[in-house]
Amino acid sequence: MTFEYAPAPESRSIVDIKASYGLFINGEFVDGHGSSFKTISPSTEEVLAEVAEANEADVDAAVKAARRAYTRVWSKLPGSERAKYLYRIARIIQERGRELAVLESIDNGKPIKETRDVDVPIAAAHFFYYAGWADKLEYSGYGQTPLGVAGQIIPWNFPLLMLAWKIAPALACGNTVVLKPAETTPLTALLFAEICQQADLPPGVVNIVTGAGDTGAALVEHPDVDKVAFTGSTGVGKAIARSVAGSGKLVTLELGGKAANIVFDDAPIDQAVEGIVTGIFFNQGHVCCAGSRLLVQESVAEEVLERLKRRVSSLRIGDPLDKNTDIGAINSAAQLGRIKALADIGEAEGAGRWSPPCDLPTQGFWFPPTIFTGVSQAHRIAREEIFGPVLSVLTFRTPSEAVEKANNTPYGLSAGVWTDKGSRILKIANELRAGVVWANTFNKFDPTSPFGGYKESGYGREGGRHGLAGYLKGGNN
Amino acid sequence: MTATPLRPDALASGDVAEITRNDASLRRFLHGLPGVDQVGAEARAAGLGTRSIKTTAKAYALDLAIRMVDLTTLEGADTPGKVRALASKAMRPDPADPDCPAAAAVCVYPDMVGIAKETLGDSGVKVAAVATAFPSGRAAMDIKLADTKDAVEAGADEIDMVIDRGAFLSGRYLQVFEEIAQVRDACGSAHLKVIFETGELQTYDNVRRISWLAMMAGAHFIKTSTGKVQPAATLPVTLVMLEAVRDWRDATGQMIGVKPAGGIRTAKDAIKYLVMVNEIAGPGWLDPDWFRFGASTLLNDLLMQRTKMATGRYSGPDYFTLD
């Protein structure tokens, strides 16, 4: 007999998913004037709810509500009063943590283990952290004057967490917001709207408009929006930058990445293997800062790969609500298609493709953890962001070659360095052109730490004191 | 680094002789092993601790854990009566349920081996004896060997020796190696478990080094602690040791057992260890021949959880024997 873990599903009964959702404007749910769309569970393709698609008129109503709340209420409140609301929201997120975790897992496809231990606690932590700043802005270095109305567009990979990254600093600084969640994952944002009601947040301070690209474009182009904050693909980021050029709107962009995870021969090998796994297979690789390029020193490449394959073979893929699931579903059919296409290109270009033997569910969108060996800088899988559980392995001989290869990308969001030698960590970290460099760890997030990119990975920082700059006049001189 | 005679990923029997030729070469080998990052190792252990083991998996794990217990009494106040009671409990942990499996062994001081053996008879439950001036290991080598032989002659099936931590911490690795090798010889056909007292060695790098050293010296089992020093067994220390036995098998084809001891008191903790064995060393180690728990109070909690699985109700501690 072997140690087979019996199914350990988290109960869905804690969440109450409504049949349909309207838009959250001026503190209440209202019907949209546009059409609607369905959000589905990517692990089963079950339709979860019908969600309103905000049209230009709806976006205009939301921006007007935000402007009114900004002028009449929110910008006039002392920081200490704004902080009370943010603390209250943070506590409600914790209290309703299981509900949020289950809902996020169902709507996004990511494992409950991650929503429970990462997404929800860090989302609450962001509200706690920026609540603390609200009455101390005179020490921020960016003054205390808010920008006004922020239009915020977030991606589907960390729906609630990205909402927290956007809303918490904006509100702490005295701005009001209109936020558009991604069209495949609107449900936790709509639950967050209920939390705003529960916290008695003044109407119009937070408005949530659901929809796809057209809704986002209407928000970005709205003349009364003072600031646009976007997290998503580099392509859309460029389009946003073009569309707001000359309008006087301030913009922060957090875009794609193709991070190098560099393993030197003196690295703590077992922990490096763990870090490689966390780097690329956390959240099915739907992570802009994922360590999607493994750069491993040639002298230990074989050993590292052998250990990596053994470790990846032990990952548990399946029902996102099972507490023992390590890898959940791909978020959408479209994303699955893109991952499959790039993986096939990798194979066609001659890289060695490997996946552990695993039974994927027949319903839903699934892709096995995949490792490509023998990848060179010229391969497309070494250059393009796949945004899926696909790792490209390259080797290097010397530290300078490692840095050169790591920096040889149009992106620059994150990087990882693995070595037992402290002096090497400091030297390499200084030479890497990436906004975040992790040393002997990967994919660690904390509200006190600024996050953001170089080059085509975007501009502006989120998190930490630096995250205030994007929402204060003094941070944008 | 370049002087490291061998990478640990391919060891042949002649290589051990080469590595242990002198203190310098042994030191080069042990210090050439990949380091252990403390934060990463602890995070991995904590991550495995969140596995949710329910229903059939839990029933399997509880029975397996009972079969892996080295039921231990190592007190100055031990008496023949106490040892007999413990031995009876090891053979039949749950008097109310004849289907309850027996423990793996009882673990006693050498002078109690005869008493334990007499009670256990041919039940299949082994007798383990601590030896080599347990728990400090502070005695002359001939005394340690005599201690070992005494226990073996009294019928011990397994010897739990302690290493000389002072020698290890001052870098006299070859001395530690030779002591283990000599005790192994003195064990004859008895199995040798080597206790590191990881609470005194402190760093995970040290735990990895002593694991390799003991495996090269002929240990059948590597064991965390005496139970007399805090901290005793921890999940991350056991993780590093499980990685070592896994890597040793890759290098030599030979399997070595692992025994965390001290501080494991609840069924919930025991299950976390079994998950770790399963996912780090592999399912091959999920057997009393290759993994043991050194514990005393753990057994009753395992029994209580086992009864709860069977009946759906918790019964009070008075329904389980105190020995």
On the 0-12 / 13-18 / 19+ scale of CB atoms within 10 A, A90 is: buried
pLDDT of res. A459? 94
Flag whether pLDDT at B14 surpasses 90.
no
Q: Would you call B39 and A441 a contact, using CB atoms and an 8 Å cutoff?
A: yes
| Average pLDDT of the segment spanning A383-389 | 97
For residue range A93-122, list pLDDT tens digits in order.
Answer: 999 999 999 999 999 999 999 999 999 999
Give the largest CA-CA distance in chain A: 69
Active site residues of A: 254, 288
How far from chain centre, in Å, is Cα B208? 15
DSSP state of A462: B
Q: What is the mean pLDDT of chain A?
A: 97
Strand locations in A145-249 (E): 149-153, 176-180, 206-208, 227-231
Q: Report the C-alpha gap between A79 and A135 in whole angstroms.
A: 4
Residues of A in contact with B1 (CB under 8 A): 266
Residues of B in contact with A320 (CB under 8 A): none
Write the single-letter amino acid at B84: R
Q: Which residues contact B179 (CB under 8 A, 6 or more apart)?
A: B132, B141, B144, B163, B164, B167
Residues of B in contact with A6 (CB under 8 A): 53-58
Interface test with A, best of B52, B272, B275 (most A CBs within 10 A): B52
For residue range B49-81, list pLDDT tens digits in order.
Answer: 999 999 999 999 999 999 999 999 999 999 999
Flag whether pLDDT at A312 surpasses 60.
yes
Q: Report the C-alpha gap between A368 and A389 in whole angstroms.
A: 7
Write the single-letter amino acid at B77: A
Q: Would you call A324 and B51 a contact, using CB atoms and an 8 Å cutoff?
A: yes
Q: Report the C-alpha gap between A105 and A43 in whole angstroms.
A: 9
Angle CA(A265)–CA(A267)–CA(A272) in degrees, nearest 5?
Answer: 120
Q: Report the C-alpha gap between A32 and A37 in whole angstroms.
A: 12
Sign for the CA dihedral angle at A191, A192, A197, A199 comes to positive
Write the single-letter amino acid at B74: L
Residues of A in contact with B283 (CB under 8 A): 2-3
The token pair at A362 is: 């027949």
The single residue listed with the structure tokens 């560099």 is A262
Q: Would you call B243 and A117 a contact, using CB atoms and an 8 Å cutoff?
A: no
pLDDT of res. A428? 98
Are the beta carbons of A327 and A335 closer than 8 angstroms?
no
> In angstroms, what separates the C-alpha of A385 from chain B's closest C-alpha?
27
For residue range B265-290, list pLDDT tens digits in order.
Answer: 999 999 999 999 999 999 999 999 99
Minimal Cβ distance to A3: which of B36, B54, B283: B283
For residue range A210-261, list pLDDT tens digits in order.
Answer: 999 999 999 999 999 999 999 999 999 999 999 999 999 999 999 999 999 9
Minimal Cβ distance to A420: which of B35, B41, B286: B35
DSSP state of A466: G
Where do runs of H (alpha helix) occur along chain B? 13-19, 23-32, 38-48, 55-67, 80-91, 113-120, 141-153, 165-169, 173-187, 198-201, 204-216, 235-252, 267-276, 298-311
pLDDT of res. B10? 61
Q: By C-alpha distance, which of A184, A190, A180, A170 is closest to A221?
A: A180
Neighbours of A3 (CB within 10 A): 17
> In angstroms, what separates the C-alpha of B287 from chain A's closest C-alpha?
10
Are the beta carbons of A193 and A24 closer than 8 angstroms?
yes
Residues of A in contact with B101 (CB under 8 A): none
Q: Which of B89, B117, B223, B272 is catalytic?
A: B223
Flag whether pLDDT at A419 surpasses 60.
yes
Q: Report the C-alpha gap between B83 and B86 in whole angstroms.
A: 5
Q: Would you call B54 and A8 a contact, using CB atoms and an 8 Å cutoff?
A: yes
Q: Report the C-alpha gap between B169 and B33 in whole angstroms.
A: 17
> In angstroms, what separates the C-alpha of B219 from chain A's closest C-alpha?
23
> In angstroms, what separates the C-alpha of A418 from chain B's closest C-alpha?
10
Q: Report the C-alpha gap between B165 and B145 in whole angstroms.
A: 17
pLDDT tier for residue B2 given thresholds of 50, 70 and 90: very low
Question: How many beta-carbon pairs below 8 A join chains A and B?
Answer: 73
Q: Report the C-alpha gap between A221 and A207 in whole angstroms.
A: 17
Minimal Cβ distance to A8: which of B36, B43, B52: B52
Q: Would you call B60 and A3 a contact, using CB atoms and an 8 Å cutoff?
A: yes
Residues of A in contact with B64 (CB under 8 A): 3
Q: By C-alpha distance, which of A243, A235, A256, A250 is closest to A455?
A: A256
Fold of A20-255+455-475: Aldehyde Dehydrogenase; Chain A, domain 1 (3.40.605)
Residues of B in contact with A275 (CB under 8 A): 40
Chain B contact residues (CB < 8 Å to A)? 1, 7, 9, 34-37, 39-41, 43-44, 50-58, 60-61, 64, 243, 274-275, 278-279, 283, 286
DSSP state of B192: E
Neighbours of B197 (CB within 10 A): 23
- For residue A401, report the phi and psi dihedrals to the nearest 5 degrees: -65, -40
Minimal Cβ distance to B37: which of A6, A117, A271: A271
Percentage with pLDDT > 90 across chain B: 92
Q: Report the C-alpha gap between A463 and A162 in whole angstroms.
A: 11
Strand pairing class (A250-254; A36-40): unpaired
DSSP state of A118: I
Strand pairing class (A47-52; A20-21): parallel
DSSP state of B102: P
Minimal Cβ distance to B57: which of A6, A270, A271: A6
Neighbours of B206 (CB within 10 A): 19
Q: Would you call A270 and B61 a contact, using CB atoms and an 8 Å cutoff?
A: no
Q: Which of A52-56, A183-187, A214-218, B15-19 has the lowest mean pLDDT?
A: B15-19
Q: Would you call A2 and B286 a contact, using CB atoms and an 8 Å cutoff?
A: yes
Q: Would you call A6 and B54 a contact, using CB atoms and an 8 Å cutoff?
A: yes
For residue range A239-251, list pLDDT tens digits in order.
Answer: 999 999 999 999 9
Interface test with B, best of A1, A3, A420 (most B CBs within 10 A): A3
The single residue listed with the structure tokens 């660690």 is A444
CATH classification number, B56-311, choose in 3.20.20.70, 3.30.70.3340, 3.40.50.720, 3.20.20.140: 3.20.20.70
Residues of A in contact with B54 (CB under 8 A): 6-8
DSSP, collapsed to helix, strand or coil, labels residue A30 as: strand
Interface test with B, best of A1, A4, A271 (most B CBs within 10 A): A271
Are the beta carbons of A339 and A387 closer than 8 angstroms?
yes
Query: Can you give the pTM of this predicted structure?
Result: 0.95
Residues of A in contact with B58 (CB under 8 A): 6
> In angstroms, what separates the C-alpha of A7 from chain B's closest C-alpha?
7
Q: Report the C-alpha gap between A38 and A45 in whole angstroms.
A: 11
> In angstroms, what separates the C-alpha of A68 from chain B's closest C-alpha?
47
- For residue A87, report the phi and psi dihedrals to the nearest 5 degrees: -60, -40
Sign for the CA dihedral angle at A273, B220, B142, B125 comes to positive
ipTM of this model? 0.94
Q: Would you call A323 and B51 a contact, using CB atoms and an 8 Å cutoff?
A: yes
Residue of chain B minimizing CA distance to A315: B279
> In angstroms, what separates the C-alpha of B138 from chain A's closest C-alpha?
33
Number of H helices, E strands in chain A: 14, 18
Flag whether pLDDT at B6 surpasses 50.
no
Please state the domain extents for chain A.
20-255+455-475, 260-439
Is B259 part of the annotated catalytic residue set?
A: yes
- For residue B69, report the phi and psi dihedrals to the nearest 5 degrees: -75, 130
B166 to each of A446, B31, B91, B170, how far by Cα in Å? 41, 18, 38, 6
Q: Would you call A4 and B41 a contact, using CB atoms and an 8 Å cutoff?
A: no
The per-residue DSSP string of A437-458 comes to: EEES--S---TTS-B--SGGGE
Q: By C-alpha distance, which of A155, A141, A137, A139 is closest to A229?
A: A155
The CATH code of the domain at A260-439 is 3.40.309.10
Residues of A in contact with B61 (CB under 8 A): 3
Q: Which residues contact B318 (CB under 8 A, 6 or more apart)?
A: none
Q: Would you call A275 and B43 a contact, using CB atoms and an 8 Å cutoff?
A: no
A136 to each of A80, A117, A461, A467, B222, how far by Cα in Å? 9, 30, 19, 14, 55
Please state the domain extents for chain B.
56-311
Give the largest CA-CA distance in chain B: 62
Q: Would you call B41 and A441 a contact, using CB atoms and an 8 Å cutoff?
A: no
Residue A231 forms beta bridges with which residues? A254
Percentage with pLDDT > 70 across chain A: 100
Q: By C-alpha distance, which of B2, B1, B15 is closest to B215?
A: B15
For residue range A32-82, list pLDDT tens digits in order.
Answer: 999 999 999 999 999 999 999 999 999 999 999 999 999 999 999 999 999
Residue of chain A minimizing CA distance to B8: A303
Residues of A in contact with B37 (CB under 8 A): 268, 271, 420, 440
The single residue listed with the structure tokens 């380091």 is B35
Q: Report the C-alpha gap between B295 and A321 in whole angstroms.
A: 35
Residue A29 forms beta bridges with which residues? A24
How far from chain centre, in Å, is Cα B199? 14
pLDDT of res. A477? 59
Q: Report the C-alpha gap between A92 and B323 in whole angstroms.
A: 49
The single residue listed with the structure tokens 């009964």 is A13
DSSP, collapsed to helix, strand or coil, labels residue A469 as: helix
Q: Which of B160, B205, B247, B323 is catalytic?
A: B160
Q: Would you call B57 and A113 a contact, using CB atoms and an 8 Å cutoff?
A: no
> In angstroms, what separates the C-alpha of A283 from chain B's closest C-alpha?
15
